[in-house]
Amino acid sequence: QKEVEQDPGPLSVPEGAIVSLNCTYSNSAFQYFMWYRQYSRKGPELLMYTYSSGNKEDGRFTAQVDKSSKYISLFIRDSQPSDSATYLCAMRDENTGNQFYFGTGTSLTVIP
């Protein structure tokens, strides 16, 4: 299943760094895009939600969607050790279905 591709990492950065996490997708009908954070042995936690193209900012987090390139990004500014987790992208077609398609997740470690 290659609907959504995400580099699994692991990614390791020093505290305070800017982190860039990315997903690519193949289905041009995807319109709803989400980023989830998943701590070990926990369920995914919704971080950011965007519809169609553009940017969305929430505190230290910025989500970007480039539909022409079928590419989405999550940026984390001033990264903290508490940001260490697995980050999952998920997306859905507007017109059909209820299911979201997930990436494999990128494991991030922020080193103090």
Which residues lie near other proteins (CB under 8 A)? 1, 4, 32, 34, 36, 41-46, 49, 51, 88, 90, 97-105
* Least distance CB 14 / other proteins (angstroms): 27
* Least distance CB 92 / other proteins (angstroms): 8
CA dist 87 → 24, 35, 46, 64, 96 (Å): 14, 7, 10, 15, 25
* Least distance CB 48 / other proteins (angstroms): 9
Measure the CA–CA gap between 66 and 5, rounded to whole angstroms.
15
Which pair of structure tokens corresponds to residue 92?
């859905």
When the beta carbons of 15 and 45 are compared against other proteins, the nearer one is: 45
Whether the bond between 10 and the residue before it is cis, its omega within 30 degrees of 0, is yes
* Least distance CB 26 / other proteins (angstroms): 14
When the beta carbons of 19 and 103 are compared against other proteins, the nearer one is: 103
Measure the CA–CA gap between 75 and 54, rounded to whole angstroms.
14
